[in-house]
């Protein structure tokens, strides 16, 4: 269905585009209600049977400004003003007719005379005027007899060849664009084939206990309670008396998996790994667990298995609870931590009667890993400032104390155990994580036991944040690390090789060992990082021509040897400090070199993708101009020229292929580098169109075209900006508010213009509000529900009063059901959140009602009449009842404001159409969605349609950023799905959140569907314009993709790009959905059938 929308673009001579028949809005006459069916004989004019006399036929009236072919020739070069509208009508019927197969052989050229005939026939081009009556179909039927052949001739070739090619090409090109950023910016940095590096000295500890308190914020652990006591007294005493402490800085995405990989494997997962899945191992990697002799781990089934899976041999053991235990709602999540502590205790108890286990536990290089998910779960459910979260920290503190003393006594206080407590990521005040806010990236690190430094008393510390004062820890040296530094720390404490892909630098200040050990460990660290650099360099060298290869100068082969020799010498001379600092220099250089080779091909790949982008966009613009406007006349293709062109481009392709071949490039490179060739070939082939266009444009007012271009660029820039600053939408909406004044529409329709301006201003407030989910405000949600019901009452009474003989009072029932459903949702939201507040969980009845509403509200909507306003109103009610259930704050008001604006928009577009003299005034109130024939698709584009498409894109973006942003969708805020479920289920929750995000889109799409059918805008040409807009935006975002700097920016930059790239496809899907919602109607069994609508 979606594919069909782009039917004509490649049709070379389609002027006007013929393939309306294939669009989804195509409705067979058979599907129309009997009262609206035309009479069988199209030529007989005595056809007033069954038609209300109120609407006189207009087919004899010459349309305003309709231009015949001659006139059009004469006006060529002027901007199209709808002059060519409505030729060749009747295509819909003809296409569906049985003659379809016969007419297929006709050629485009042969059809010309027939088309002229159609154009010059005196028919009304605006069926809108008659909608709601049967009259608009008559002219159509009149045309059928002699039009069928003609239309088929036009449609068939286009339908058979060009559509699939264009769509396939479009999909392919966009797939390449989309995938390319992962190859260009986010290929996996991991290399394989390094030699493991190990410090040749005996390690200080025999075993390591790693506690990871999932989702524990640094400040939550360190800060003192209001009465001045420590929240975690045991850990506080450790950092004051026994160990070292600091902050571990994590990177975005602050999620559990990347956090644990950084902690245990020592590298930061790249985005491609994250995209490939959280639970499985997308790439092979080495970890401290894998290097250990034995590792036992307890905790969540989401985390533990990935390290067991990655480990070679059978030495990493996991003990997990069932995934269902992670209930966010009723029960206390601290039980998850108690489960872990209890199992560790019984594990040690059981080892006393199990000789194999006992001796394994007494080996060296043993790791015990306790993953404590309770704090994270409580944080999501109750937010980090809650009593539950802080209580959980206390319980973890006690658990750690018990486990530490249990282990010490198990090993007879041999002083050979090292302990580390940290967390994988923090959490925002509103209970989410994933992004780069300091509350998410600052995690605690407390290390104590064998080989670890004691607290260092200091008088001054160099940290710019005020945390030390807040935490009353000014006098204890704070040692900050990057999260990946913890892996080498663990490895050197128990003396195992550093994980092969680790990029961490050993935090020496945590160690309480001999200076020799520190220097040797640092040296091991440097060699281990250098190994990765060497492997990476030799890989790049192999795949690059030797003349083109520019090595990373600071670390040439001789430089490497120099460094290593110097460090060795320093260690031998016992100049340990010099050795350590040289090691640090070497590590930094190697990391720099790693990223140098990693991004080696970036410029050249990026350029070739950008060239393709520009080519593709140019091509689509040419297609629009050629097929959907009368700006150019079709020029016959020069055959000789095109053969020359073809061979020219083919040889260019060959040269590129050869060049890539001798460099033994990866196969994806061929795609990126060869893509510009066919794309630009397609563009260059259209040179006559460009020349034609150029002469046309030059004959126009230069100022006018420049102004138009400027407005276009500004509009797109505002859209691009809105991705970074939601307030850009406010600016845009305020400009929209002035639209009636600028175009002087307000003279024509003062009230509508006023309402439009007011609603624009109202909607402009939303992007200024904070992102949804931070401050729950259930009373606002309830207010939104009540407001919806109030508006419904108002609208319904006005509906009842208004007279429309096609209305059926039976239909009013549907609205009452829908209003009841909204009322029910309002109640359920209030009662559920109350019940959760007093910790009684989600009432089953509420859950049932929520799911019932979710399932049945779309069905109710389909029962309502398909008259324009009635159906849109019904859509609003249905969507609102679902949206209310998913709301937690002010966002519940957003669909109402948005819908109001959309409602006025439909009216304003009608006024705009009139303003430009393009339409007889149709009665929107009696406009029926199902009665729209796609003959309207024959209208050609004019400039105002570009504006219309832009409004649509803008409103879609507003629907997206109006209440939140990408981060808030990615970050996990379970509060909004509490009416449906409280047990952790990522897919179900994700699905519901997506639904919540989609609802405003559906509203906009349905409104735009109404705009399309009432302004006779063709969805094909519309989507081509949207494609151009989104491609220009995508090119912006392609250059804005980042792989450096704050990790928040990186994640955001990718999602921007992906979002914009999928905009067109997304809008097509939305359009399809909107058509379904607006045109489908389920029959209700009813008693009296005299009204068949
Ligand atoms: Zn986590
Ligand atoms: Zn979490």
The series of mean pLDDT values per 10 residues for the chain, 1093 residues long, is 33 34 33 33 36 36 37 34 32 32 34 33 31 31 31 32 73 85 77 89 95 95 90 94 94 85 88 52 76 93 80 83 65 87 94 93 95 92 90 95 95 95 93 85 95 92 86 92 96 95 95 95 96 92 80 91 95 94 95 90 87 90 77 60 84 88 82 89 84 75 78 87 83 87 77 88 84 71 89 82 61 81 88 81 83 85 78 87 84 87 86 66 60 51 79 86 58 70 75 84 87 76 82 86 64 78 78 80 53 37
- Convert 885-912 to b/e letters by CB count within 10 Å (16 or more is b): bbbbbbbbbbbbbbbbbbbbbbbbbbbb
Tell me the C-alpha to C-alpha distance, in Å, between residue 45 and each of 49, 132, 142, 923: 11, 20, 9, 25
185 alpha carbon – ligand 1 mean position (Å): 26
Ligand nearest to the CA of 381: 2
424 alpha carbon – ligand 2 mean position (Å): 9
In terms of phi and psi (left: phi > 0; alpha: psi -120 to 50; beta: otherwise), the region of 281 is beta
pLDDT at res. 585? 95
337 alpha carbon – ligand 1 mean position (Å): 13
d(CA 758, CA 740): 12
Instruction: Give yes or no for a contact between 884 and 830, defined as CB atoms under 8 angstroms apart.
Output: no
Ligand nearest to the CA of 984: 2
Based on the number of CB atoms within 10 Å of its own CB, is 994 exposed (0-12), middle (13-18) or buried (19 or more)?
A: exposed
Tell me the C-alpha to C-alpha distance, in Å, between residue 24 and each of 132, 628, 1073: 21, 18, 11
d(CA 858, CA 16): 38
Q: Is the bond preceding 679 in cis, omega lying within 30 degrees of 0?
A: no
973 alpha carbon – ligand 2 mean position (Å): 10
Q: Is the bond preceding 380 in cis, omega lying within 30 degrees of 0?
A: no
Instruction: Give yes or no for a contact between 247 and 165, defined as CB atoms under 8 angstroms apart.
Output: no
589 alpha carbon – ligand 2 mean position (Å): 35
Looking up tokens 């832009």 gives: 950
As given in the structure block, the two tokens for residue 108 are 């485009």
Question: Residues with Cβ < 8 Å from 194, sequence gap 6 or more?
Answer: 500, 528, 531, 532, 535
Looking up tokens 């709602």 gives: 329
215 alpha carbon – ligand 2 mean position (Å): 6
370 alpha carbon – ligand 1 mean position (Å): 13
Tell me the C-alpha to C-alpha distance, in Å, between residue 382 and each of 237, 659, 770, 888: 28, 59, 20, 14
β-pairing verdict for 417-422 and 207-213: parallel
Ligand nearest to the CA of 262: 1
pLDDT at res. 235? 96
d(CA 335, CA 326): 10
Ligand nearest to the CA of 380: 2
860 alpha carbon – ligand 2 mean position (Å): 37
201 alpha carbon – ligand 1 mean position (Å): 35
Q: How many CB atoms lie within 10 A of CB 818?
A: 25
151 alpha carbon – ligand 1 mean position (Å): 62
377 alpha carbon – ligand 2 mean position (Å): 6
262 alpha carbon – ligand 1 mean position (Å): 12
343 alpha carbon – ligand 1 mean position (Å): 21
Ligand nearest to the CA of 256: 1
Ligand nearest to the CA of 427: 2
Q: How many CB atoms lie within 10 A of CB 933?
A: 24
334 alpha carbon – ligand 1 mean position (Å): 15
Ligand nearest to the CA of 973: 2
304 alpha carbon – ligand 1 mean position (Å): 12
Is this model's pTM higher than 0.75 or not?
no
- Give me the residues near ligand 1 (ion), CB cutoff below 5 Å: 214-215, 256, 376, 424
Question: Residues with Cβ < 8 Å from 695, sequence gap 6 or more?
Answer: 77
Instruction: Give yes or no for a contact between 764 and 730, defined as CB atoms under 8 angstroms apart.
Output: yes
Ligand nearest to the CA of 971: 2
d(CA 1091, CA 579): 94
302 alpha carbon – ligand 1 mean position (Å): 10
420 alpha carbon – ligand 2 mean position (Å): 21
Ligand nearest to the CA of 257: 1
877 alpha carbon – ligand 1 mean position (Å): 39
214 alpha carbon – ligand 2 mean position (Å): 7
Ligand nearest to the CA of 376: 2
306 alpha carbon – ligand 1 mean position (Å): 14
d(CA 257, CA 191): 20
Instruction: Give yes or no for a contact between 1064 and 1030, defined as CB atoms under 8 angstroms apart.
Output: yes
174 alpha carbon – ligand 2 mean position (Å): 34
158 alpha carbon – ligand 2 mean position (Å): 53
Listed in sequence order, the DSSP H helices in 766-867 are 778-801, 810-837, 844-863
376 alpha carbon – ligand 1 mean position (Å): 6
905 alpha carbon – ligand 1 mean position (Å): 45
380 alpha carbon – ligand 2 mean position (Å): 7
CA atoms within 13 A on the CB side of 597: 29
**Share of the chain residues as helix, strand and coil, in percent rounded to the nearest 5:** 60, 5, 35
972 alpha carbon – ligand 2 mean position (Å): 8
β-pairing verdict for 442-449 and 417-422: antiparallel
374 alpha carbon – ligand 1 mean position (Å): 10
435 alpha carbon – ligand 2 mean position (Å): 12
Instruction: Give yes or no for a contact between 1053 and 1042, defined as CB atoms under 8 angstroms apart.
Output: yes
Under DSSP, the state recorded for 299 is E
Ligand nearest to the CA of 255: 1
Ligand nearest to the CA of 303: 1
State CA 446 to chain mean position distance.
Answer: 37
Ligand nearest to the CA of 214: 1
Tell me the C-alpha to C-alpha distance, in Å, between residue 431 and each of 339, 382, 434, 752, 967: 23, 7, 11, 43, 13
Greatest distance between any 2 Cα atoms in the chain: 114
Stated as kind and residue range, the H or E segment containing 182 is helix 163-184
pLDDT at res. 634? 55
213 alpha carbon – ligand 1 mean position (Å): 8
377 alpha carbon – ligand 1 mean position (Å): 9
């Amino acid at each position: 269905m979606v594919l069909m929308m782009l039917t004509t673009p490649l049709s070379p001579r389609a002027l006007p585009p013929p393939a309306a028949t294939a669009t989804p809005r195509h409705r067979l006459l058979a599907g129309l209600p009997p009262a609206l069916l035309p009479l069988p004989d199209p030529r007989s004019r005595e056809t007033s049977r069954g038609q209300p006399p109120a609407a006189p036929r207009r087919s004899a009236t010459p349309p305003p400004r309709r231009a015949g072919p001659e006139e059009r020739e004469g006006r060529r070069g002027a901007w199209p003003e709808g002059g060519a509208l409505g030729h060749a009508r009747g295509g819909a019927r003809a296409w569906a007719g049985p003659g379809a197969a016969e007419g297929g052989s006709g050629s485009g050229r042969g059809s010309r005379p027939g088309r002229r005939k159609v154009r010059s026939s005196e028919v009304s081009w605006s069926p809108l005027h008659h909608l709601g009556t049967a009259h608009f179909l008559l002219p159509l039927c009149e045309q059928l007899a002699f039009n069928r052949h003609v239309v088929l001739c036009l449609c068939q070739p286009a339908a058979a060849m060009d559509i699939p090619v264009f769509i396939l090409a479009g999909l392919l090109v966009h797939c390449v664009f989309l995938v390319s950023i992962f190859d260009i910016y986010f290929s996996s940095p991991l290399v394989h084939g390094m030699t493991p590096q190990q410090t040749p000295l005996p390690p200080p500890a025999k075993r390591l206990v790693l506690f990871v308190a999932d989702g524990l914020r640094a400040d939550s652990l360190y800060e003192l309670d209001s009465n001045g006591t420590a929240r975690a007294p045991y850990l506080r005493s450790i950092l004051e008396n026994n160990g070292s402490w600091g902050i571990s800085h994590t990177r975005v995405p602050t999620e559990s998996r990347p956090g644990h990989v950084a902690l245990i494997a020592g590298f930061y997962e790249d985005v491609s790994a994250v995209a490939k899945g959280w639970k499985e191992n997308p790439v092979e990697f080495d970890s401290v667990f894998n290097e250990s002799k034995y590792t036992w781990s307890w905790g969540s089934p989401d985390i533990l298995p990935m390290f067991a899976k990655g480990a070679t041999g059978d030495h990493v053991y996991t003990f997990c609870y069932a995934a269902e235990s992670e209930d966010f709602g009723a029960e206390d999540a601290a039980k998850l931590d108690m489960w872990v502590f209890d199992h560790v205790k019984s594990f040690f108890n059981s080892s006393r009667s199990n000789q194999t286990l006992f001796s394994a536990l007494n080996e060296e290089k043993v790791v015990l890993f306790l993953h404590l998910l309770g704090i994270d779960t409580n944080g999501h459910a109750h937010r980090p400032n809650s009593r539950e979260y802080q209580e959980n920290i206390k319980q973890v503190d006690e658990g750690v104390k018990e486990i530490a003393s249990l282990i010490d006594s198990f090993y007879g206080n041999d002083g050979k155990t090292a302990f580390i407590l940290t967390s994988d990521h923090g959490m925002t005040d509103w209970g989410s994580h994933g992004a780069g806010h300091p509350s998410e990236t600052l995690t605690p690190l407390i290390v104590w036991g064998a080989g670890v430094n004691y607290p260092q008393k200091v008088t001054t510390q160099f940290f710019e944040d005020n945390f030390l004062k807040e935490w009353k820890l000014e006098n204890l040296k704070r040692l900050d690390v990057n999260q990946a530094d913890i892996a080498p720390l663990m490895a050197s404490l128990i003396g195992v090789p550093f994980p092969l892909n680790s990029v961490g630098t050993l935090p020496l200040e945590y160690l309480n060992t001999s200076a020799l050990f520190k220097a040797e460990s640092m040296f091991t660290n440097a060699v281990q990082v250098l190994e990765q650099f060497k492997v990476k360099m030799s890989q790049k060298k192999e795949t690059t021509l030797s003349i083109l290869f520019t090595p990373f100068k600071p670390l040439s082969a001789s430089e490497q040897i120099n460094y290593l020799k110097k460090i060795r010498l320093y260690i031998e001379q016992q100049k340990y400090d010099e050795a350590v600092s040289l090691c640090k220099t070497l590590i930094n250089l190697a990391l720099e070199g790693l990223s140098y080779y990693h991004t080696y091909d970036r410029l050249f790949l990026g350029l070739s993708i950008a060239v393709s982008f520009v080519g593709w966009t140019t091509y689509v613009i040419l297609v629009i101009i050629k097929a959907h406007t009368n700006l150019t006349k079709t020029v016959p293709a020069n055959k000789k020229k095109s053969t020359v062109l073809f061979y020219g481009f083919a040889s260019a392709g060959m040269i590129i292929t050869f060049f890539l071949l001798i460099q033994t490039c990866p196969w994806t490179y061929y795609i990126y580098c060869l893509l510009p060739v066919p794309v630009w070939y397609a563009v260059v082939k259209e040179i006559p169109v460009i020349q034609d266009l150029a002469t046309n444009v030059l004959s126009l007012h230069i100022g006018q075209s420049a102004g138009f271009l400027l407005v276009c660029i500004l509009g797109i820039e505002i859209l691009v900006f809105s991705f970074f600053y939601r307030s850009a939408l406010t600016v845009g909406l305020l400009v929209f508010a002035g639209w009636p004044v600028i175009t002087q529409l307000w003279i024509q329709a003062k009230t509508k213009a006023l309402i439009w301006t007011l609603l624009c201003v109202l909607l402009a407030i939303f992007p200024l509000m904070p992102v949804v989910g931070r401050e729950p405000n259930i009373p606002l949600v309830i207010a939104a529900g009540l407001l919806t019901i109030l508006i419904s009452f108002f609208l319904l009474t006005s509906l009842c009063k208004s007279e429309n003989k096609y209305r059926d009072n039976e239909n009013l029932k549907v609205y009452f059901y829908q209003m009841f459903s909204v009322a029910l949702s309002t109640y359920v939201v209030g009662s559920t959140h109350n019940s959760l507040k007093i910790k009684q969980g989600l009432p089953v009845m509420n859950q049932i009602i929520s799911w019932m509403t979710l399932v049945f509200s779309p069905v109710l909507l389909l029962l309502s009449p398909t008259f324009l306003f009635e159906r849109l109103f019904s859509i609003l009610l249905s969507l609102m009842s679902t949206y209310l259930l998913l709301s937690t704050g002010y966002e519940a008001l957003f669909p109402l404001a948005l819908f109001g604006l959309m409602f006025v928009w439909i009216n304003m577009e009608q006024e705009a159409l009139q303003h430009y003299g393009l339409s007889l005034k149709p009665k929107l109130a009696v406009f029926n969605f199902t009665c729209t024939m796609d003959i309207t698709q024959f209208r050609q584009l004019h400039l105002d349609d570009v504006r219309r498409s832009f409004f649509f894109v803008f409103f879609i973006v507003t629907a997206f950023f109006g209440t939140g942003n990408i981060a808030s969708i990615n970050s996990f805020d379970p509060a909004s799905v509490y009416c449906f479920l409280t047990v952790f289920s990522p897919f179900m929750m994700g699905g519901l959140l997506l639904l919540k995000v989609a609802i405003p889109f559906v509203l906009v799409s349905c409104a735009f569907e109404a705009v399309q059918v009432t302004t006779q805008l063709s969805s094909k040409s519309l989507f081509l314009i949207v494609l151009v807009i989104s491609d220009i935006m995508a090119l912006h975002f392609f250059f804005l993709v980042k792989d450096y700097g704050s990790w928040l920016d990186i994640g955001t930059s990718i999602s921007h790009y992906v979002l914009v790239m999928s905009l067109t496809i997304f809008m097509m899907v939305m359009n399809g959905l909107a058509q379904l919602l607006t045109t489908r109607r389920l029959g209700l069994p009813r008693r009296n059938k005299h009204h068949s609508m």
